[in-house]
């Protein structure tokens, strides 16, 4: 899934338009009160990502907490006098407290977390192979040709044979060929953790750090 400010902004505008349509034309007992609230927190998240992108960790959690805080502001009627005469503020801050709203916000938060789990983030490296402190999705890094880490494991059996696996036919590179086990080093991982994870995912084998021997480290720019 492509991640960029433009992509997040387009997503924000799309959700915002849907929210406006719901507010103006939908008057049922499900989409307007529940779906609208779920989309609201997703809309705020997309807007925040447009501004901050990867600068704030746990951004979705902060948005959830902010939304719950606003709901409790409604409960204590702190802004009643302010919102009574201001239609825009009334729409933004709401008018009444409802526990179901908080449940909807939490549902939106879980949807956001689910979307993020499907994205594979990688650390971006400099020409010396050091982490720059920035990260991006695998798709973006490949598209832009940015440096990143990959690992490959030569797994030897007790008889000295090397374990190979056949790559899936739908892989974008080297589809259907036999190869050693390996893959990308995810953001925040070290090489050893990546090797252990890849072997577990691909071969369902459990290995430990002390079983790993570094054969060679290669810096290569395609």
Asked if 123 and 131 touch (Cβ cutoff 8 Å), the reply is yes
Parts of the chain belonging to CATH 3.90.79.10: 121-211
Q: Which CATH architecture has domain 121-211?
A: Alpha-Beta Complex (3.90)
What is the per-residue pLDDT for 128? 87
What is the per-residue pLDDT for 5? 79
Angle at 200 between CA 206 and CA 171, to 5 degrees: 155
Rounded to 5 degrees, φ, ψ at 152 are -140, 135
Angle at 108 between CA 107 and CA 112, to 5 degrees: 115
Helix and strand totals (H; E) in the chain: 8, 8
Residue 33 tokens read as 């009160």
Residue 195 tokens read as 């090797």
Asked if 202 and 165 touch (Cβ cutoff 8 Å), the reply is yes
The 3-class SS string of 96-140 reads CCCHHHHHHHHHHHHHHHHHHHCCCEEEEECCCCCEEEEEEEHHH
Residue with tokens 């490296």: 125
In order along its 222 residues, the chain shows pLDDT tens digits of 445 678 889 999 999 999 889 888 888 989 988 998 899 999 999 999 888 866 677 889 999 999 898 888 777 766 555 555 554 445 555 567 788 989 999 999 999 988 876 677 899 999 888 999 888 888 788 888 899 999 999 999 889 899 999 888 877 778 889 999 999 998 889 999 999 999 998 898 998 989 888 887 777 765
pTM, rounded to two decimals: 0.55
Asked if 141 and 3 touch (Cβ cutoff 8 Å), the reply is no
What is the per-residue pLDDT for 2? 46
Residue 125: beta bridge partners? Answer: 131
């Amino acid at each position: 899934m492509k991640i960029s400010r433009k992509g997040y902004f387009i997503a924000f505008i799309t959700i915002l338009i849907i929210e406006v349509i719901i507010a103006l034309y939908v008057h049922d007992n499900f989409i307007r009160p529940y779906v609208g609230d779920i989309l609201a927190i997703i809309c705020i998240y997309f807007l925040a990502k447009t501004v901050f992108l990867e600068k704030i960790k746990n951004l979705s959690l902060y948005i959830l907490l902010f939304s719950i805080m606003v709901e409790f502001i409604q409960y204590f009627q702190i802004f009643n006098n302010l919102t009574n005469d201001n239609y825009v503020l009334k729409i933004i801050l709401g008018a009444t407290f409802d526990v179901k709203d908080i449940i909807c916000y939490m549902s939106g938060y879980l949807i956001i977390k689910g979307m993020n789990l499907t994205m594979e983030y990688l650390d971006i490296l400099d020409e010396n192979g050091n982490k720059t402190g920035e990260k991006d999705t695998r798709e973006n890094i490949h598209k832009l040709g940015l440096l990143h880490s990959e690992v490959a494991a030569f797994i030897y059996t007790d008889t000295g044979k090397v374990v190979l696996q056949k790559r899936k036919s739908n892989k974008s590179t080297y589809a259907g060929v036999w190869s050693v086990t390996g893959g990308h080093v995810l953001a925040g991982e070290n090489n050893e953790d990546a090797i252990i994870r890849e072997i577990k995912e691909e071969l369902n084998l459990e290995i430990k750090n002390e079983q790993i021997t570094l054969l060679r480290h290669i810096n290569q720019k395609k």
